[in-house]
Amino acid sequence: MGAKECITGGKAVLGIEFGSTRIKAVLVDEKNQPIASGAHDWENRLENGIWTYSLEDIWTGLQDCYRKLTEDVKEQYGENLTKLGAIGFSAMMHGYMAFNEKDELMVPFRTWRNTITEEASNKLTELFQYHIPQRWTIAHLYQAILNGEEHVADLKFVITLAGYIHWKLTGEKIVGVGEASGMFPIDIATGQFNEKMMTQFNDAVADKGFAWKVQEVLPAVYTAGQQAGALTEEGAKLLDPTGTLEAGIPFCPAEGDAGTGMAATNSVAKRTGNVSAGTSVFGMIVLEKELSKVYDAIDLVTTPDGSLVAMVHCNNCTSDLNAWVNLFREYSELMGHKVDMNELYGNLYRKALEGDDDCGGLLAYNYFSGEHVTGFNEGRPLFVRTPDAKFNLANFMRVHLFTSLGALKTGFDILFREEEVQVDEILGHGGFFKTKGVGQSILAAAMNAPVSVMETAGEGGAWGIALLASYMVNKSADESLAAFLDSKVFAGQKGEKLDPAKKDVEGFDAFMKRYSTGLAIERAAVEAI
Each residue's pLDDT tens digit in the chain (529 positions)? 799 999 999 999 999 999 988 999 999 999 999 999 999 999 999 999 999 999 999 999 999 999 999 999 999 999 999 999 999 999 999 999 999 999 999 999 999 988 899 999 999 999 999 999 999 999 999 999 999 999 999 999 999 999 999 999 999 999 999 999 999 999 999 999 999 999 999 999 999 999 999 999 999 999 999 999 999 999 999 999 999 999 999 999 999 999 998 999 899 999 999 998 888 898 999 999 999 999 999 999 999 999 999 999 998 999 999 999 999 999 999 999 999 999 999 999 999 999 999 999 999 999 998 898 999 989 999 999 999 999 999 999 999 999 999 999 999 999 999 999 999 999 998 889 989 999 999 999 999 999 998 776 556 889 999 999 999 999 999 999 999 999 999 987 767 899 999 999 999 999 999 999 999 999 999 999 9
Beta strands in 331-461 (DSSP E): 363-365, 382-384, 425-429, 451-454
Give the three-class secondary structure for 146.
helix
In a domain, 389, yes or no: yes
Half-sphere exposure of 441 (CA within 13 A, CB side): 16
Q: What is the pTM of this model?
A: 0.90
In a domain, 323, yes or no: yes
In a domain, 372, yes or no: yes
In a domain, 167, yes or no: no
Burial of 486 (0-12, 13-18, 19+ CB in 10 A): middle
pLDDT at 457: 54
pLDDT at 113: 85
Q: How many domains does the chain divide into?
A: 1
In a domain, 379, yes or no: yes
**382 DSSP β-pair partners:** 365
In a domain, 357, yes or no: yes
Q: How far apart are CA 371 and CA 447, in angstroms?
A: 19
- Edge-to-edge strands of the sheet including 86-91? 34-41, 22-28, 13-18, 86-91, 255-256
In a domain, 237, yes or no: no
Query: Distances in Å between the alpha carbon of 414 and those of 151, 292, 296, 301?
Result: 40, 11, 11, 17
Q: Which domain does 393 fall in, by range? A: 319-399+503-528
Contact criterion met (CB below 8 Å) for 109 and 53: yes
Q: Which amino acid, residue 248?
A: G
In a domain, 463, yes or no: no
